[in-house]
């Protein structure tokens, strides 16, 4: 295998800290941070490594780059199916897909403050517990090229930025379920659900949309699911469902399932269908 002078075929990276966010599942993390959302995230750098001194002068920047690891991915693919746009595979190096030979991610985030070895951050696209390898200052004069071409993404953006093609409505049953989840467990995935279905409700592996044997459709929403039907340009969400059956939720060793208590209470109120 060809090697650069003095560089072995394997390198070792060590996290300098871990992000703490309210996003426990990928569904909650947008593919790009939503700057309109009011978020407060925390990057906790590790103790005992003099990172307090390394953060000197960082507070003067409005934004920083985070270099991090897609720690929930174990494989990579040369061709990937981006979540946006039509079901067309792209070369992984032409995408931001997590399925990379070395699953490195990079995100520019708003810096809200620095306290000791902790960075207070704005909106980000990282799930809780993501390991971070480096922090670099965002310098607008060097890091921003607004006139640069964006390849196939420009075509997709023109579609995404167009008015929504589908109207999404909730049945009375689904409305009652969504209201109960919001009021009793502060769980609400419906805004993201509406965003995805209003653009394109067709089956798509990355968007976790598939057709059921019954003829209805389902979409995975992190730890939850929704069943829906499509009639011309109208999408009707018929019901919300848990992402895990009761036998998994009650199994020893599965205590860390996201929204586990909420899912168990949901199934007590709306028992799962038995096939």
Helices (H) and strands (E) in the chain, counts: 7, 13
Domain residue ranges in the chain: 17-157, 167-269
If DSSP codes are grouped into helix, strand and coil, which group holds residue 112? strand
Length of the chain: 275
Q: How far apart are CA 227 and CA 208, in angstroms?
A: 12
If DSSP codes are grouped into helix, strand and coil, which group holds residue 1? coil
CATH architecture of 17-157: Beta Barrel (2.40)
In tens digits, the chain (275 residues) has pLDDT values of 555 555 567 888 999 999 998 766 555 545 555 666 667 899 999 999 999 999 999 999 999 999 999 888 888 989 988 877 777 889 999 988 888 999 999 999 999 999 999 999 998 888 889 999 999 999 999 999 888 998 888 877 766 676 778 999 999 999 999 999 999 999 999 988 998 899 889 988 878 899 999 999 999 988 899 999 999 999 999 999 999 899 889 888 878 888 899 999 999 999 976 54
| Dihedral sign (CA 13, 19, 22, 28) | negative
What is the CATH T-level fold of the domain 167-269, as seen in this structure? YaeB-like fold (3.30.2310)
Q: How many CB atoms lie within 10 A of CB 158?
A: 9
pTM: 0.62
């Amino acid at each position: 295998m060809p090697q650069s002078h003095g560089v072995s075929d394997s390198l070792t990276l060590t996290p300098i800290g871990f992000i703490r966010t309210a996003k426990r599942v990928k569904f909650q993390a947008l593919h790009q941070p939503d700057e309109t959302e009011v978020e407060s995230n925390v990057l906790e750098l590790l103790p005992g490594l003099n990172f307090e001194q390394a953060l000197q002068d960082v507070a003067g920047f409005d934004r920083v780059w985070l270099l991090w690891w897609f720690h929930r991915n174990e494989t990579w693919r040369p061709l990937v199916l981006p979540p946006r746009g039509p079901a067309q595979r792209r070369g992984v190096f032409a995408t931001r897909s997590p399925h990379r030979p070395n699953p490195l991610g990079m995100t520019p985030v708003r810096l809200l403050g620095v306290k000791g070895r902790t960075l207070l951050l704005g909106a980000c696209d990282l799930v809780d517990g993501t390991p971070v390898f480096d922090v670099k200052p965002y310098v607008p004069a060097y890091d921003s090229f607004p006139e640069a071409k964006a390849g196939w993404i420009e075509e997709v953006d023109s579609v995404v930025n167009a008015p929504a093609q589908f109207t999404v409505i909730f049945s009375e049953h689904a409305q009652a379920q969504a209201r109960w989840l919001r009021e009793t467990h502060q769980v609400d995935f419906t805004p993201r659900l509406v965003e995805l279905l209003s653009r394109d409700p067709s089956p798509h592996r990355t968007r976790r949309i598939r057709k059921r044997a019954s003829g209805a459709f389902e979409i995975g929403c992190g730890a939850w699911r929704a069943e829906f039907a499509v009639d011309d340009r109208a999408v009707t969400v018929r019901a919300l469902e848990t992402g895990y059956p009761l036998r998994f939720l009650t199994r020893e060793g599965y205590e860390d399932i996201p929204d586990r208590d909420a899912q168990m209470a949901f199934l007590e109120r709306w028992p799962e269908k038995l096939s």
